[in-house]
Each structure stands twice: as structure tokens, then as C-alpha cells.
Chain A
Amino acid sequence: MADEVILLDYWASPFGMRARIALREKGVKFECREENLRDKSPLLLQMNPVNKKIPVLIHNGKPVCESMNVVQYIDEVWSGKNSIFPSDPYQRAQARFWIDFIDTKVYEPADKIWSTTGEVQETAKKDFIEALKILEAELGDKPYFGGDNFGFVDIAMTGYYSWFEPFEKCANFSIESECPTLMASAKRCLQRESVVNSIPNPDELFALALKLRKEYGV
């Protein structure tokens, strides 16, 4: 039976990007529906009543919410191709640990870099780089966090990699000079077909960031 796969999404969201990339890694046909986050659709509110956020994957009418939860679900359902999550329990625990680290220690300062100025922004830059350096140490000399293969942690980071250039422009700093190996891995990820087809142009993201900064009076 043909699966019905709908993704409620927002083009610029690093979290939405993760779901798109995972679906494309698996070669799953899906319908992407763009949400206006200022005027959320009844479907979004019905499918994610608790958090009312994107991405929401609706698979044969049943919703799955929270980006890395969606990625893991995609990996388990369409398990035949391009394994995203390792099979070894210890490696899986390590992957989940780093996702949790990324979605706290990278997310919080990242969110402030593009939306604040002055001292708040400076502290955010410092915390952001510190977190990236910890990740870089974890990456080591592997091409991807998943080792030879693009995997769970790489997908999580790619949402942020797509925003690296806008962050650097918003806050006037260079990520590459601080984290060259991580940047090399980022470039590798950004060249993957599933990623190229899933992320917007960095210039468009920067334009959005500037627009929102203006609106917030930053």
C-alpha cells in the first residue's frame, strides 16, 4: 500500500531540515507543507496540540513530533536503506547523548547569536564556539560523527551547519578559524544530495535573519 507521508514544516527551520534530510536519505516520497508560524494551520494545531511546533511528520494520518524523534522514527520505519542510527547499543547511547548536547548547548547560544546584540550576543558567540569545540573533539579525524557514514548526529548538526554563514554575518565572527575540522565535516555534509535538496540558500537565511532582527528592533 502506498504510504501517505506529509511533513508540516517551515523552510528556514534547522529542525525541519533534519526531517527533510532523513526522508531524502531514505528515498521516501513525501509532501512538504509550508506552515506560516504566525498563523498556524488547523492541521498543525490538531497534529501537535502540545507544542504546536514544526516539524510534524504525519505518516498515514498519525503524527510524530520533535525533530530528532521524527528522524529516529524515519530510520526505524524505513529501515532497509541508509541506516541513520548505529545498531550497537553503546554507539546508539553515544549518538543520543550528543543529540541532547547539541539541542541544549548549541541551540541556546545559536538562538541568541542571530537575535541579539552587544554583550548578550558576545556571550552567546563564546558559548556557541565552546560547544562547537567540544563537538569537534568528539568528531576527531572522522569524516562524519557517524564515522565513515553520514548519520544521526550529522543530521542533527546539518540544521545548524546551514545557518553557519548567517550566524557569522549577524555576529561578525568566523567559525572556520575556530573549528576547522568541524567546518570540513560541515562542508562534506552540505554537499550530500539529500542535504542539497533540503536546505535553503544561506543568503535567503541571512535575509530572513536581518528582517527578523529589524522587526525585533535589534
Chain B
Amino acid sequence: MAEDGKDDSVATDDDSDQTAADGSLNNTMVEEGSTLLRRMEICVAEAEKRSGKNAVSMQETFTVYLIETRPMDAVADGRNPAPDSLWRRYSEFELLRNYLIVTYPYIVAPPLPEKRAEFVWHKLSADNMDPDFVERRRVGLENFLLRVASHPVLSNDKILYHFLTEENGWKEVVYETGFQAKADSRLRALSATFRVRNPDKRFMEMKHYSDELQSHTSQLLRARARVADRLYGVYKVHGNYGRVFSEWSAIEKEMGDGLQSAGHHMDAYAASIDDILEEEEHYADQLKEYLSYAEALRAVCRKHELAQFELEMASQDLISKKQQLRTFSFKGMTNKLFGQEAPEQREAKLKLLEELITEGEETVKEKTVECEEHVERAWVDMQRFKEQKDKDLREALINYAVMQISMCKKGIQVWSNAKECFLKM
């Protein structure tokens, strides 16, 4: 699913001129094929239950996931070194993602697998400890890491590298980056959405698209879950045939054998739905990933609205200060006439205002650069995202068709066998 670049890797660990202390790129140029995944094989190999004391000293059970990494060149050489590995909890993945979102607000951040099972049809338990759920989550976490590590921008992040290679002390290092302070408050973001005057049209369209994507994928997932539920019912009722045929065959002479074996096929038919629907869950997971991606896309658009809004605010502020200055001068004349203020006080106020204006001009310059940079980088990533989405979802639809075909083939086999049994009746 995640991107698999075929270019030769430029295996430089040299990041001094490319990355600042907080890990973000200073320049927008990304070397082709320099993603982490080129240099390192990553997988989430296992999941295990652990018990421990949580922050409020209460005993809790949680699941940890084993992340294994191996240098790619060793693999390519044919050597098979033992992988390095460490354990991480879901909450640590969440922390990593939050860090990435704040640090790279112009990137459509790959989503994590769902926290709780949603769009569940009746058989699947919504229990986080359910082994099937844990397994699917393991796959989802691996997918997340692969996507991040193959991203042209995100893969170069030091915190990411640290996450993959150093088990202890990682949390402290993340907090030390101070990313939490940089996070936009929800209120500010929301306010910006309503009050921004001139957002980039393309971003508004993209935001609208993200709403559509979210709505359509969730409708599809809901409908699919209901279909799965009903299909389960159909298959399972055929198990009743199995039971009745078996009992009936006991009282028949000529028909007995045919009925008995037909009954076995009915039981097999009823049992086959479990695997069929379990496989379909993978399809649902692929769709769920893009349901979450829709939110990430929207976040990038909102960030633009915020940046644009702040620029507008700063510009507006500058204008009003300049206006104040003019009024001040005018006021100064009237004051001269009516003698309200001491000349020193006026002088001080004037100087302050001029300083504020200079500051304001700086701010406007900064905000303009911020906004423009965000637009530029975000647009690049949104294009990349679009291509990835089209490719991935098309593949998902094809996989779905393959699953349907497999289900049909099983059905043909079972009922052909049943027919043979009925012929013997």
C-alpha cells in the first residue's frame, strides 16, 4: 500500500544543513528517493499484552507492538542480520503523529488505525482486546510507519528516526521539542474558518472535497457493514439445513446417504462466511484509512485558513496603526491649539506607535512568507496525496472484486457438491 520508490537511495545521514532543531526542513527541495524507507526495512512484527501501572498508579492492561528495523543495504547484500527492535504502545504512535502534524502542518499526515472498532457488523466485537482487532491494528500501525517513512518530507524527521530506534526516553525528547506549544488552538482555528476573507480558492475546493470524501466513505462503510451482517445471516441459516438433513437421513433408506452428505456441505457453506467476512474487513480498513485521511486533508486546508487569517489580521492591524499615526498627527495639531498634552508624553506615544508600526510591518512580512510557504508546500503534498489516493483506492476496489470472485468460486463448489449429493438421493 505505501509508496515503494525504485530510485537508488542517497543514503546520507547528513542532516545538519537540511534540518533545523525541530526537524522541519529549511528548504523545500527534497532529494529524489531519499526517504527513510529506502535505507531501512521497517515492520510491526508482533503484538503483546502487558500489564502495568498507569499515570494515576492504577493497574491496567494494554497492548504493545514490536517494531523491527533492519538496514536496507544489509538486506540487499544478502546478509541477514537480526533486526533491531523495540516495543511501542498505541499512545506513543498517537504522540508521534501529533508531533508530525504540528511540525509539518502543510503535509497531509498519514492516519493511524482506528482507536475503537467502528462500522462494526454484529459478529465482530468492538473490544479492543479482541485478537482479530489487535491483528488488524498491527497491520494498520505498520502501514502508518511505512507511509511516514516513505514520505519525501516526513521521512527525514529525527523524531521519527528516534521513535524507530530508541525505545527509552523517546517521549521526553518529543516533549522537549516544545511542539505542543506550537499547536494551534481549536478556537483560533475555528474562528479563522469563519472570519477569513480571502482564502486560496483551490484550498477551499480541496476542503470541500475532503468533506465529500469523508461523507462518502463513511456512508459506504456503513452500508457495507449492514450488507455483511445480512450475508452472515443467510449463510448461517443454511447450517440449519445441515442439522435437519442429518436427522432426516437417519430415517431414510435410499435417500439417507445423499441427504447426509448434502448436509455436510450445507455445514461447510455456513462455516465459510466467517473467513469471507474476515477478509472483507481488510477492504474496510483500506477505506477507513482514507476516511481518516479526509480529516488530515481538511486539517491542511484549515491551517491555510488560519495562516491566511493571521496575515489578514496582521495587515489589518498594521493599517489601523498607521491610521492611528495619522490621527495622532492630526490630534497633535488640535492639541497644540487646545493644549491637552505635554510634548514629552506626545513624543513618547509617537515613538511607541512608530515602533509598533515597524513591528507590524515585520509581522506582516513574516505572515506573508508563512502563508505563501504553506500554500506552496501544501499544494505539492496535496497533489501527491491525490495521486496516492487514486492509486490506492483503485487497488482496494480491485481487491474487493478479487474477494467477491473468491466467494463466488467457493459458492459454486459447495453447491455443485451439494447437487452431486442430491443426485444420489
- Report if A and B associate in a common complex: no
Give the A-binding residues of B (Cβ under 8 A). Answer: none
